[in-house]
Amino acid sequence: MAQELISSRFARLFDDAFTTTETTRSSVPVDLAEWEDRFELQFDVPGVRSEDVSIEYQEGSLTISGNRQITPKDGCKLHHRERRTGKFQRVFSIQRDIDVDAISASNENGVLTVILPKSDRARPRKIEILRN
């Protein structure tokens, strides 16, 4: 019960910072994490080459799109397919200040990681009280 309450409150924190839209049928799952200085998104993209993925940030909107192609080997007759193929796209509306010039991405072992550093304005800071 307590774990569900914590999970629910945690999810609402991200809802305040991000909203998402799946714009194609062949979407990819995503995990979203937050640190004091950044957000990190991780997408499962096994078999997708980095050159087949596009990441764009424009006016508070982050778009991840790509194309997963799985071609059967020559002479092979495919009987059953569960792995999704085709184009995919996820669009995230970001409600926080992001350091756009420092956004980075990597694709390792089928996991695409996108780092969105928070701008200095969005980071928590301690305010010093000045003495008279």
pLDDT in tens, 16-30: 555 555 554 457 899
Calpha distance 18→31 (Å, rounded): 12
Q: How many residues does the chain have?
A: 132
96 and 122 Cβ atoms separated by less than 8 Å:
yes
CATH 2.60.40.790 fits 16-70+82-121, yes or no: yes
pLDDT score for 41? 96
Residues of the chain where predicted confidence (pLDDT) is lower than 50: 5-6, 9-10, 12-14, 24-25
93 and 18 Cβ atoms separated by less than 8 Å:
yes
Pair of tokens at residue 104: 């980075």
